[in-house]
Each structure stands twice: as C-alpha cells, then as structure tokens.
Chain A
Amino acid sequence: MPQDYIPVLIQILIALGFVVTTMLATHFLGPKRFSRAKLENFECGIEGMGNARSPFSVKYFLIAILFVLFDVEVIFMYPWAVNFKELGKAGFLDMFLFMILVLAGFIYIILKGAFKWDRR
C-alpha cells in the first residue's frame, strides 16, 4: 500500500531538511574570513606538499581489492554469529565449509605472492 511508505518519506524529508538547515545556518551565521592557510586542502594538520595526482604502485590496488573481498566475506559471519544457537550443528558445518573455501583462496594468494611487496 502506498501509505505504508509515509514513514520513509518523512525520514527522507528530515534528512534533507537537516542538511539544508545546517548549511544555510552556517552560511548566514558564521563570520567570513579568507586567508591563504584557510583555503588550502586540509591534510590532518600537516602542510600539504606536492601534487596528489602522482603515479603510485599498482600493488595498492591489489591489496585494496583483496581487502574488500575478505571484508565482505567477514560480513557473512555476523548473521551466523547472531543466530548461532538456532542454526545449530548444520549451520556450524555450513560455515566451516565456507571458511575452508575462503581460506583456500587466502592461502592461494599468499602462495602466489600477492603480499610480497618488493618482489618484481
């Protein structure tokens, strides 16, 4: 039924309203002082140096992809952990099988040398 979605609509309006209100409020209320230091990119308080668009090693990309992969796989553990008692022995065996497959992949990439940073 369309009216069931009214709470969602209210939620969206509140979220949008909050953003618009705070942005307008800071825009009109705050004092405006511009200086060189203030217009610079914020980098943890350290002074920025050099160009950010310099080439960096493609190995970062590999590590990032592998991280995403195993991160997503860990997410599967949460619902299992919450329902551990209800799922019982069958659930445990299923998860065991799943972990073996994940580990097989993990051992494979270690043996393949994906984490050896300085190997050519």
Chain B
Amino acid sequence: MSALIFIAIFGIIVLYLGFANNKAILAPAAIGGLLITMALSIKDWGVGSKYFHDMIVVDNFSIAFNVSMLIITILIFLFGVNYYKRMEHHVAEQYALMIFALTGAFLMTSYSNLIMLFLGIEILSIPLYILAGGKKSSYRSNEASFKYFLLGSFSTAFFLFGIALVYGASSTFYLPEINTYIAQFNGHLPPMLMVGLLFILIGVSFKVAVAPFHFWSPDVYEGAPTLVTAFMATVVKTAGFAAFYRLLGMGLLPLPAALEKTLWVMTGLSLLVGNLAALKQSNFKRLLAYSAIVHTGFMLLAMLSQHDSAGSVLLYYTFVYSLATIPLFIIFIHMKRSAKGLEDLVIFRGLYKQKPWVAVFMTILLMSLAGLPPTSGFMAKYQVFTLAISQGYIAITIFAIVMAIIGVYYYFYVLREAFTDSDEPNPILIPFLNAALIVVCGIAVVLLGLFTFTIPI
C-alpha cells in the first residue's frame, strides 16, 4: 500500500521536476523513484493486507505483478534516455504520465471491488490516451490518440454498464460476494447477471486486445510513439492480464458454462485472427501488434485452464514476453532512424552486415517470441500448454500449438530481412545505453529459459 501511495505522489514530483529545465536528471530521478517503489512493494511480501473496507487487497499475487511491471518500466525509462534526447518540450510529462499509468496498473493488480477495478482501468487509460498522441505534429499519432480515446471510452461505458447490471442483480461490488452470489444459481444465471458479467468481460477484453475487440490495437500501436507502443505492449498488457486473472480467480470461477464457451471462442479467435493478419503485415509495429494479439490468446489459454498455478504461469509469460518485446522496439527505432522514418520490414535489410551482434540478439528475441527452445518464450508456451493439457483441454491446445508453429513464419520473415544485404546501406548508430539494454534483455531471455522460475502466488 505504501508503494501505491508513494508512486502516486512521485508522479507529481516528476511532473514538477520538469520545471528544473534539466532533461538529464529526469530519467535517473524517475528510475530512482521506481526502485524505491519496488523496495516498498517487496517489503509487504507475504503480509497480505487489506485497505479501504477491503476494496484493495495487497497480496503476493499483486506484489509479484507490481514488481514485474516496475522492472519493465525501468527498462523502458532507460530506453527513454536516448529516445527523448531530441525532444525539446514536455519531457517530464512523458515520464510523469507513464508513472501515473503505473499507479493505475497497481490498482488493477490489487483490487477486490469492481469500483477499484474501474478506477484502475481509467487511471491507466487516461495517461495512455495522451501519451499515444505524444507526437503533436504527426497525423498518425493524433489518429492513434483519438481512436484509442473514442474506442476506449466506448469500452469503458460497456464495462460500467456491466458493473451496474451486476450490482443490480447481486447488490454488491465485492468480487468474493459476487462469487458466492453466482454459486447459488448452480449455473443457471438470471439474464441480468449474465449480461452484466458479459459486459464486464467485454470491457476487460478490450484493454488486453482479445480478438473480437482487438481492432484498435494495430492502428494505435502503429501511430503512437515507439516508446509508448513498447509501454502499451508490455506494462499495460501485464496489468490487463493481472486484472483479468483476478476478476476470474476471485469473482467468476468456476465460470458459468455460457461465459466459459464465450471465452474459449475468444481465445481461438485471438490465435487465428492475430496469426492470419500478422502474415500479411509489412509494417513492423503492426506486425508486433498482431503478434501481441496472438500472445493474448496463449495467455487466455493459461487463464482459462482454471488451475491454481495459472497465476504464476501468467506472470512468467507476461514478464518474458515484455523482456523480448522492449529490445525489439529499441532495434526497430534505430533502424527506423537510419532509414529516415520508414517503418516497413525492409528497413532491417543490411543489419547483419553492419552490426552482426545486433542481428544475433534479434534472432534470440524473435525466437523467444516465436517460442523456440532454448529461449524463455519456449518455456512460457510449454508451461501454458502443459497446464491446459493437465486440465483436459486437448483440442484447443493442439490448435494453439499449430498456431504457434504458423507464428514462426512471420517472425522469421523479419529475420530474413535482417540477414539480407541492403542495396543502399545507411549507417546504423546504436548508443551505448541502448546497446547494453539489447544485450542484457537478450541474455536475460535465454537465462530465464534455462532457469525458469515459479513464484507461489
């Protein structure tokens, strides 16, 4: 809890640091604050306390996810040191908004009341709407911000309506009480409750971009500044899945049959639609957006297995996925700069010729996303599949494995470009800090695959 309070105040402090007119202190100060937050979070490990009439429950699950998101945000801030070097104005605001978004993410991992979930989602989303429009003079960025805002507020309306209907049926906002209320019907839910739960699921699915509600994500990923895209693909996705898992684990499990069928269809659709669309992409950011939709499908598979260790598998999966995604965005931004703003896959041509070590790390990272051994992406998918098979979901697991194999094609398509010679090679400059980030993340991706961790949450 002290971590939540500290990070909320710290966001305001960073906002005011912008008046010091010294861009160099921003990133170190922001990272220092996040480290303090991490220490405060870890201090509560194993205590398990409740606040505000049990509306916030800080348990090991939320602390594990918070620390994972803090590590990822620190990596993104390190990326920001070079990324914001050219930016003249409002740099402190970028960091402050990301910290505010992180505050919302903290609420999303530690709620036990639907109102707190709503607040968390809003506190996470509103800074993101602004961040997506970070490049004021770019039409693409404005389009991304506007699309995200319109569709996001639409989904929020669905979500709120769902909360209202569930409250109307069960007269409570607390997830454990909703759980006991649902249990008394033995699977035959009254229509009002059913529609309410469906609307709540739609709202949360939108935030994590599950297939029928994924249409915003490629456009927003493409238009938003690359650093913000990296933030959305990693931290926001982790927070969304933590919230989703909590919603199912504390409130809805065992799922009513109709809802479970809906979620299984959404899982299958995410895997299928994400893969088929990714095959056709020529823009790297759109490709990663569709690949994120496919990964959403795998994570849903783990969550719907309804097993006690699903939380730990989910944490491992999101963490490893984030670790592989951030350096890919770093490599992409340097290739984009050397290609004078182009975002197509062709810009990776000539990478192996000029910077062979970057191409090698890129191979490792893309292998991790595709799920090939010995990387941690393989271990994450392996855990998801064993979990699903152990619960008897054979057919959907086979489907998911086939989809994972199809995914290899478009990841390796990017690799093929990287190992092709370019006709007109442009110099690729990678500053020391970003190079270090690529190396560290690449090594971490391999090491986490060799030494997998499970945290009792």
> Which residues of A approach B to under 8 Å, CB–CB?
101, 104, 108, 111
Cα-based distance from A111 to B15 in the complex (angstroms): 11
Total CB contacts across the A-B interface at under 8 A:
6
Cα-based distance from A111 to B92 in the complex (angstroms): 14
CB of B102, distance to nearest CB on chain A (Å): 18
Can you report 6 residue pairs joining A to B where beta carbons are below 8 Å apart? Answer: A101-B12, A104-B12, A104-B16, A108-B15, A108-B16, A111-B19
- Note all chain B residues with C-beta closer than 8 A to A108: 15-16
Closest residue of B by beta carbon distance from A104 = B12
- Note all chain B residues with C-beta closer than 8 A to A101: 12
Closest residue of B by beta carbon distance from A111 = B19
Which 6 pairs show the lowest CB-CB distances between chains A and B? A104-B12, A111-B19, A108-B15, A108-B16, A101-B12, A104-B16
Q: Give the interface SS of chain A, mostly helix, strand, loop or mixed.
A: helix
- Note all chain A residues with C-beta closer than 8 A to B19: 111
Cα-based distance from A111 to B12 in the complex (angstroms): 14
> Which residues of B approach A to under 8 Å, CB–CB?
12, 15-16, 19
Cα-based distance from A108 to B13 in the complex (angstroms): 11
- Note all chain B residues with C-beta closer than 8 A to A111: 19
Cα-based distance from A104 to B16 in the complex (angstroms): 9
CB of A103, distance to nearest CB on chain B (Å): 11
CB of B327, distance to nearest CB on chain A (Å): 34
- Note all chain A residues with C-beta closer than 8 A to B16: 104, 108
CB of A34, distance to nearest CB on chain B (Å): 45
Cα-based distance from A104 to B12 in the complex (angstroms): 8
CB of A18, distance to nearest CB on chain B (Å): 33
Closest residue of B by beta carbon distance from A101 = B12
Cα-based distance from A74 to B15 in the complex (angstroms): 23
CB of A104, distance to nearest CB on chain B (Å): 6
- Note all chain A residues with C-beta closer than 8 A to B12: 101, 104
CB of B53, distance to nearest CB on chain A (Å): 15
CB of A106, distance to nearest CB on chain B (Å): 12
CB of A64, distance to nearest CB on chain B (Å): 19
Cα-based distance from A111 to B19 in the complex (angstroms): 8
CB of B419, distance to nearest CB on chain A (Å): 48
Cα-based distance from A97 to B12 in the complex (angstroms): 14
Cα-based distance from A20 to B308 in the complex (angstroms): 65
CB of A115, distance to nearest CB on chain B (Å): 16
Cα-based distance from A101 to B19 in the complex (angstroms): 18
CB of A9, distance to nearest CB on chain B (Å): 22
CB of B126, distance to nearest CB on chain A (Å): 13
Closest residue of A by beta carbon distance from B16 = A108
Closest residue of B by beta carbon distance from A105 = B12
Closest residue of A by beta carbon distance from B90 = A112
CB of A65, distance to nearest CB on chain B (Å): 14
- Note all chain A residues with C-beta closer than 8 A to B15: 108
CB of A8, distance to nearest CB on chain B (Å): 19
Cα-based distance from A104 to B11 in the complex (angstroms): 12
Closest residue of A by beta carbon distance from B93 = A112
